[in-house]
Amino acid sequence: MEDDRSSEIDLNTDNIQRVNLRDWYKPMSFYQIWVRSFADGNGDGIGDLYGVYDKLEYVKSIGVDGIWFSPIYPSPNADYGYDISDYRDIHPDFGDLDQFKKVLKRAHALGLKVIMDLVVNHTSDEHPWFVESCKGKDNPYSDYYIWRDEPNNWDSLFEGKAWEYNKERGQYYLHIFAKKQPDLNMDNPKVRQEVKDIMRFWLDMGVDGFREDVINFISKKEGLPNGLPFLPAVNGMPYYKDGPHIHEYLAEFRKVCDDYDCFQLGEGPMTTVKSAMKYLTGPTKSLDMMFSFDHMMADCLYTEYVHRPFSLIKLKKAFTKWQYALAGKGWNALYLENHDHPRIISRYGSEHFWRESGTMLAASYIFQQGTPFIYQGQEIGMTNIKLMSIDQYVDVSSITNYHTYHLKEDPERRLHRIHLSSRDSARTPMQWDDTENAGFSRSTPWFYVNPNYHRVNVKKEDADENSILNFYRKCLSLRKNSKTLIYGDYTEHFPKDKNIFMYERSLDSESYLVICSFSRLPVKAHKPAKFAGKRGELVLCNYPDEPVSYGGVFDHVEQELSEIELKKGYFRPYECRVYRYYT
């Protein structure tokens, strides 16, 4: 298929080799919609595709180029949509296929791509395939799932052991996630054919690609060996992550996508750079981008439930490791929030310096090399909700964590862990204005609205020139209009600085220097030696007034740099600035 974006790319650039014309997703940015909490159009308290339709202009106004829909298929909601009972329909809470087609058409008319969530590591236990599979060992679906007479010792990631006994069939089935999410047997060619048919179903309708859920888990090691007993929850992971046939299976899926020139973004829990390279580059390339997790662990160990103090050094190491590894070879998917993580201001920023840290965090990732993703509510600075009791939480993993780990701690402390870690914080209704229910619904919303909606809402943010929302708009517009910010090289400066994250993007003679303070106190920063004596143009700053002095970055404690002519200046709490230089 001819790529219609080729006209947007300057063919005269010396750097044409960097730009593969078919990689249309590279200059783009995406907005993730978790429909249940986005906007309720039919007044039943649940977000739906009628609400989405009404808000498409808003989405467009942020400056993104596409939407990723978390699963919108029929689902009993054991894992809020990630347990699918029908891959070819729309959840009745959200509308129907006709309404989806209207959304798709309108999104396309607005120039927005639409990416669907493809969840094929597992289905719901209410999917007809599983219902049939339970009936016995000799029906067409009996090998669609992973059945054993004796379970191995694997734990599930969401609910106790990874095996559940099914009385009807008289065997155990594997579920790496919740009990109601049985794992598909991807070694069965019929299952892979089903996946390809599902992909074609949505691609034929006109969608532009897929975000593929836990895609690095779909091939399990033959024999399903026991895992190491001292690794709770993840003991089976070495045998189901990057499994033996993963690249063969993904090559099959890739072929489908090639027919449509769509893109594939794989979610890669616990993926390392080394394993990601196999998905993103070379003869086994099957994905265009991967969601990696390293940078989401700067304040926790593997899961946010095992909390530790935020470390900027850890965050910078993670960012930079991926930027350097993929440079010139692969492409990053950039994100700080999605439906699986608590809100980023409450984690890496400060609710006290809410506007400052919310804006700074935007600049800390949007200008890196890769395609930025913004999760609903992130752009207006939504923060974590703190519910009074564990009984008010609905996310299966939060509930399990609370009842399984740290049991010696008192309940208050354990609830505090949930406040810090729960995925439910990302799933509270979108705050549109300061009317009842935050303008999300005319009826009582399905889940608690964050009480800060009087202060934090789209209407207010839209009207304030210096708001977080308008800062996101500025960032996306700056990036969209700069080849350097899209394709340029990434270099980190001063990686050991505990307060400042500074990175440069450069292409030909142009450089952008992005400087982000993660400190709640004023801090001095260094000026990289290569810019000594050069005047940079301040193109973006998250404090409305001018910085204290030109280029305030400048001055620092280290001897070597005091020799450089630097103007003195401090970064105010969570201040960020972007300078453009010509060398």
Active-site residue, from 213, 395, 492, 575: 213
The contacts of residue 279 (CB under 8 Å, 6+ apart) are: 216, 247, 250, 266, 268, 285, 286, 287, 290
Min CB(481)–ligand NOJ separation in Å? 32
CA 458 to chain centre: 21
DSSP-derived letter for residue 121 is S
Picking from 320, 248, 329, the residue whose alpha carbon sits closest to that of residue 284 is 248
Single residue of 28, 119, 287, 345 touching ligand NOJ by CB under 6 A:
119
Do 573 and 520 touch, CB atoms closer than 8 A? yes
**Nearer to ligand NOJ by C-beta: 291 or 531?**
291
Q: Return the beta strands (E) in 328-384 as ranges.
A: 333-334, 371-375
Q: Does 212 bind ligand NOJ (CB under 6 A)?
A: no
Query: Any idea how long the chain is?
Result: 583
Site size toward ligand NOJ, by CB under 6 A: 9
When the beta carbons of 129 and 571 are compared against ligand NOJ, the nearer one is: 129
- We find the least distance from the C-beta atom of residue 340 to ligand NOJ, in angstroms, to be 5
Least Cα distance to 30 among 66, 80, 83 occurs for 66
What minimum distance in Å lies between the beta carbon of 135 and ligand NOJ?
A: 25
114 or 215: whose CB is closer to ligand NOJ? Answer: 215
Give the nearest distance from C-beta 160 to ligand NOJ in angstroms. 16
Contacts with ligand NOJ in 213-242 (CB under 6 A)?
213-214
Name which of 214 and 256 has its Cβ closer to ligand NOJ: 214
Q: Which residues pair with 301 in a beta bridge?
A: 303
Q: Does 147 bind ligand NOJ (CB under 6 A)?
A: no
Catalytic residue list contains 164: no
Site string for ligand NOJ, 176-195 (x = CB under 6 A): -x------------------
Indicate which single residue of 24, 82, 144, 253 sits in contact with ligand NOJ (rule: CB under 6 A). 82
Question: Which lies closer to ligand NOJ via its Cβ, residue 185 or residue 467?
Answer: 185
| Cα of 15 vs its chain's centroid, Å | 29
> Residue 18 burial (CB < 10 Å; 0-12/13-18/19+)?
middle
Residue with Cβ nearer ligand NOJ (36 or 316): 36
Confirm whether 213 is a catalytic residue.
yes
Q: Say whether residue 79 binds ligand NOJ (CB under 6 A).
A: yes
Q: Which two tokens stand for residue 102?
A: 């209207």
Identity of residue 3: D
Residue 152 CB, shortest distance to ligand NOJ, in Å, is: 20
Contact characters 339-358, ligand NOJ, x per CB under 6 A: xx------------------
Which entry of 23, 79, 208, 267 is annotated as an active-site residue? 267
* Beta strand extents in 376-499 (DSSP E only): 489-493
Tokens standing for residue 410: 């008192």
As a whole number of angstroms, the distance between CA 254 and CA 240 comes to 20
User: How would DSSP label each residue in 293-312?
Assistant: -GGGGSSEESEEEEE----H
Which of 267, 424 has the CB closer to ligand NOJ?
A: 267
Interactions with ligand NOJ, residue window 246-275 (CB under 6 A): 267
- For the bound state, the minimum distance from the C-beta of residue 117 to ligand NOJ, rounded and expressed in Å, comes to 8
What burial letters (b/e) apply to 348-375, b meaning 16+ CB within 10 Å?
Answer: bbbeebbbbbbbbbbbbbbbbbbbbbbb
Closest residue (Cβ) to ligand NOJ? 82
Edge-to-edge strand order for the sheet containing 489-493? 489-493, 500-507, 510-517, 576-582, 537-541
Show which residues are catalytic. 213, 267
Applying CB under 6 A, the residues found at the interface with ligand NOJ are 79, 82, 119, 177, 213-214, 267, 339-340
